[in-house]
Amino acid sequence: MRLRHRFAVLGVAALTAVGSATACAPTAGAHPRQPADAGATPRTRAVLDWLGHLPDRGLTHRTASGFFAGYSGADTPESGKDFAAQYRQVAELADRTGQFPAVLACDYASGWTPAPNPAPTRIDTGCNQALIDHARAGGLVSVSVHLPNPVAGAPWRGPLPAQDFRSLTDPATPAGQAWRAELDRIADGLQTLADAGVPVLFRPFHEMNGDWFWWGGQAPADFTALWRSTYDHLTGTRGLHNLLWVYAPDCGRGDPTDHYVGKAYADVVGLDCYSNSPSTIGTAGYERLLGLGKPFAFTEIGPGSGSGGTFDYATWAAALHDRFPRTSYFLAWNGEWSPARNLNGAALMNDPWTVNRGSVDTTAVAADAPAAVFQDFESGTQGWTGYHQLAGPWKVTEWASHGTSSLKADIDLAAGSAFLNRVGPLDLGAETTLSLTARTALWGNHAGGTRAKLYIRTGTGADSSTWTWTDAGAKPVDAKGTRFTLDLSKVPDRAHVREIGVEFAPAAGASGRTAVYLDDVRAGGLLAGFETGTDGFARTGGTGGPWSTAGEGAADGTHALKAETDLAAGPVTLARTAPADLTGAAALTAAVGAPAGSTARLYLRTGGSADPSGWTRSEGPATPVDPDGRILPLDLTGAADLAHVREIGVVITPPPGGTGPGTVRLDALTRHR
């Protein structure tokens, strides 16, 4: 349960904003994503919701991998449609990286054919079986279409004249009729996937802002009209409700939103981006597309021309971390662009952020948590400043451990420690923990590595020399991010907080400019951390424990509560029955890990009498959990008699049909005001 690296999976409810009395903007992952198609199937909705919330999953498993399996068909190899030969590259990728991609893509049409304009009859959907097999193995699928030109005699490459392009939406014209026939052949293939229960990331008209396809370089209004008529035909006339529509311009051609088709006609936005230096790709287009409020993807990636198999795919992993952290998935192209045929493809496919086939769980979406109040920098710097920094701090969207924004400042690595801080006075008298996530950028010479510490300064007088400094100790911090937690229980005068902050201390020999980031500042009351024992918790059901154990499984600190269970024997409950007063609490959270496929529910029993039959039970949503751990929320809004809490616990239900032994863990039971 590596939860210290995944603490923002579900979004924690009703937290206190340190130094803020008002709620910030809601986090991006608070509610289910809604597809453009109101009639979308439940599976299709689940895929969109899962992709949309991936970047909110904390510091691991937040970007799905993808790979292009080839152009569908069995024509001559020079046509680019020998799918069987291209499909073997999927196994090649797995052999060389140890991973199958989460998203597998194919193209129904002709690819970069040497023919001047292939006939519409060359649309082929034979790759469907490979896509169905991939979906049944736990993956997602995507379909693109390098469309034949439906205008008779017109070339496949290069923009179609505007008048001809507009005629495609008129079914009375020969071009409009040919286009409708072409769409119906595509629809037949998509229907096969629908019949198999397979949702599709459907990516038509890609790179429309370029000038190399017949649909490229068109007036935005004309392009939008064709997209929308295509959507209406496939979704309305043909009744295809398994489609997620992917809008994918090229990353090197102006404002990628110029041809945007509208939120009611797109589900995912992305960029096709080929570069030998991903770290130098501008972020403006990425940020413009994020601003549309849809999940973002790199819908095609690969090296630029002339790499000759020497491209380093580890640079794409670094770029996703450092420049494009809210990427829901990437899709690497095959052939000379394949990660298997260049350098360090395994580094990208096995990066801690990458989700591959086998780890796709579309049931593991964000729960509808109660309204949250964070100091999360969604609305600005929220009173934070800094000193000994070069520039900033600013609110930025290029990285976030929770939501869409964080606090950033630039520092000089050769100039010693730099600080980001929030000056008081603040009142943390009712809180027992303070935590946040810190990070550095990849750039700059970090030498032996930068370290950071979370600190607090408290005192009742105006003389700063009398204030008490308390910190959580220095820990390494890098581009992957580190969670820091400070135990406030022994901090004097915490009702009179003068300053909270983070000190970033570069290593000896470090040099150059870099950036530092903060996000997800939380203050709460830790009810059970299991650092010195079981904290009064007992087990009902299961086969052994509970014990306080060190090592993996600790969400904060070094220990968690562990119990053993028989997966075939039903639920196991970990609970404490000691009386407690939670007056004023708005929510509880706890970190829970269990075998994959399990669900867990946090609950509370309250009552003023000694008779258990009169106690009231409040419980949170049943939440999918896994061995890496999830945060369970329990909204206490409206809960009865919080001054007389009789029992707090978690019920963990094994996966249906599960057998054999299993381990469950609990940590960081926390009260939030």
The pLDDT value recorded for residue 370 is 34
Instruction: Specify whether domain 43-355 bears CATH 3.40.50.300.
Output: no
Token reading at 148: 């034949």
- Side chain identity at residue 499, one-letter code: E
Q: What pLDDT, in 10s, does the model give residues 401-418?
A: 777 789 999 999 999 999
Is 300 a residue of the active site? yes
Q: What are the DSSP E strand ranges found in 265-326?
A: 268-274, 296-302
The pLDDT value recorded for residue 427 is 80
| CA dist list (Å): 321 to 282, 442, 632 | 14, 9, 26
Q: Residue 605: beta bridge partners?
A: 617, 647
- The CATH number that domain 375-522 falls under is 2.60.120.260
Compute the distance between CA of residue 591 and CA of residue 172 in angstroms, rounded to an integer: 61
Backbone angles phi, psi at 420, to 5 degrees: -115, 130
Q: What pLDDT, in 10s, does the model give residues 379-395?
A: 889 889 999 999 999 99
Compute the distance between CA of residue 50 and CA of residue 72 in angstroms, rounded to an integer: 28
Token reading at 579: 């009386």
| 232 secondary structure, DSSP code | I
Token reading at 28: 């991006």
| 371 secondary structure, DSSP code | P
Token reading at 292: 């549309």
Nearest partner of 516 among 638, 404, 608, 417, judged by Cα: 417
Q: Which residue has the higher pLDDT, 370 or 420?
A: 420
Token reading at 184: 């119906």
The pLDDT value recorded for residue 507 is 95
Out of 58-67, 70-79, 306-315, 512-521, least confident range: 70-79
The pLDDT value recorded for residue 468 is 94
Q: Is the pLDDT of residue 11 over 50?
A: no
Question: Which pTM was predicted?
Answer: 0.60
* Average pLDDT, integer, range 448-453: 94
Residues 89, 95, 97: CA angle, nearest 5 degrees: 100
Q: Is the peptide bond before 325 cis (omega within 30 degrees of 0)?
A: no
| 240 secondary structure, DSSP code | -
Identify the active-site residue in 78, 182, 287, 300.
Answer: 300
The gap from C-alpha 554 to its chain's centroid, in whole angstroms, comes to 22
| CA dist list (Å): 99 to 42, 69, 348, 358 | 28, 14, 10, 9
Q: What pLDDT, in 10s, does the model give residues 565-620?
A: 999 999 999 999 988 888 878 888 888 999 988 999 999 999 988 888 889 999 99
Is 499 a residue of the active site? no
pLDDT-above-70 percentage for the chain: 89
305-318 burial code (b ≥16 CB/10 A, e <16): eebeeebbbbbbbb
Residue whose token pair is 């600790």: 554
Contact 142, 104 (CB under 8 A): yes
Compute the distance between CA of residue 426 and CA of residue 433 in angstroms, rounded to an integer: 14
Residue whose token pair is 């810190």: 438
pLDDT-above-90 percentage for the chain: 55
476-509 burial code (b ≥16 CB/10 A, e <16): ebbbbbbbbbbbbeebebbebbbbbbbbbebeee
How, if at all, do strands 406-412 and 268-274 pair?
A: unpaired
Q: What are the DSSP E strand ranges found in 204-352?
A: 243-247, 268-274, 296-302, 327-332
The pLDDT value recorded for residue 16 is 33
Nearest partner of 658 among 544, 574, 563, 566, judged by Cα: 566
Q: Is the pLDDT of residue 18 over 50?
A: no
Q: For the chain, what is the mean pLDDT? A: 86
Compute the distance between CA of residue 446 and CA of residue 521 in angstroms, rounded to an integer: 25
Fold match between 43-355 and 375-522? no
Q: What is the CA radius of gyration of the chain?
A: 27
Identify the active-site residue in 182, 207, 398, 503.
Answer: 207
Nearest partner of 320 among 350, 279, 287, judged by Cα: 279
Token reading at 367: 């729960």
Q: Which residue has the higher pLDDT, 602 or 522?
A: 602
Q: Residue 271: beta bridge partners?
A: 298
Q: What pLDDT, in 10s, does the model give residues 467-515?
A: 999 998 899 998 878 888 888 878 899 889 999 999 999 999 999 999 9
DSSP assignment of 513-536 equals EEEEEEEEEEEEEEEE--SSS-TT
Token reading at 460: 């009742």
Domain range list for the chain: 43-355, 375-522, 529-672
| CA dist list (Å): 547 to 565, 576, 653 | 13, 14, 19
Q: Is the pLDDT of residue 630 over 90?
A: no
Q: What pLDDT, in 10s, does the model give residues 182-236?
A: 999 999 999 999 999 999 999 999 999 999 999 999 999 999 999 999 999 999 8
Compute the distance between CA of residue 376 and CA of residue 301 in angstroms, rounded to an integer: 31
Where does the pLDDT of residue 120 fall: very low under 50, low under 70, confident under 90, or very high at 90 and above? very low
Compute the distance between CA of residue 458 and CA of residue 452 in angstroms, rounded to an integer: 20
Where does the pLDDT of residue 162 fall: very low under 50, low under 70, confident under 90, or very high at 90 and above? very high
Contact 467, 459 (CB under 8 A): yes
Identify the three-state secondary structure at position 367. coil
| 626 secondary structure, DSSP code | -
How, if at all, do strands 268-274 and 243-247 pair?
A: parallel
Nearest partner of 126 among 143, 102, 101, judged by Cα: 143
Token reading at 525: 């009351």
Compute the distance between CA of residue 335 and CA of residue 227 in angstroms, rounded to an integer: 29
Nearest partner of 663 among 531, 571, 562, 590, judged by Cα: 562
Residues contacting residue 611 through CB under 8 Å, at least 6 positions apart: none
Q: What pLDDT, in 10s, does the model give residues 244-295?
A: 999 999 998 888 999 999 988 999 999 999 999 998 998 889 989 988 889 9
3-state secondary structure 48-99: HHHHHHHHHCCCCCCEECEEEEEECCECCHHHCCEHHHHHHHHHHHHHHHCC
Instruction: Specify whether domain 529-672 bears CATH 3.40.50.300.
Output: no
Compute the distance between CA of residue 392 and CA of residue 420 in angstroms, rounded to an integer: 10
Backbone angles phi, psi at 48, to 5 degrees: -60, -45
- Side chain identity at residue 186, one-letter code: I
Contact 444, 510 (CB under 8 A): yes
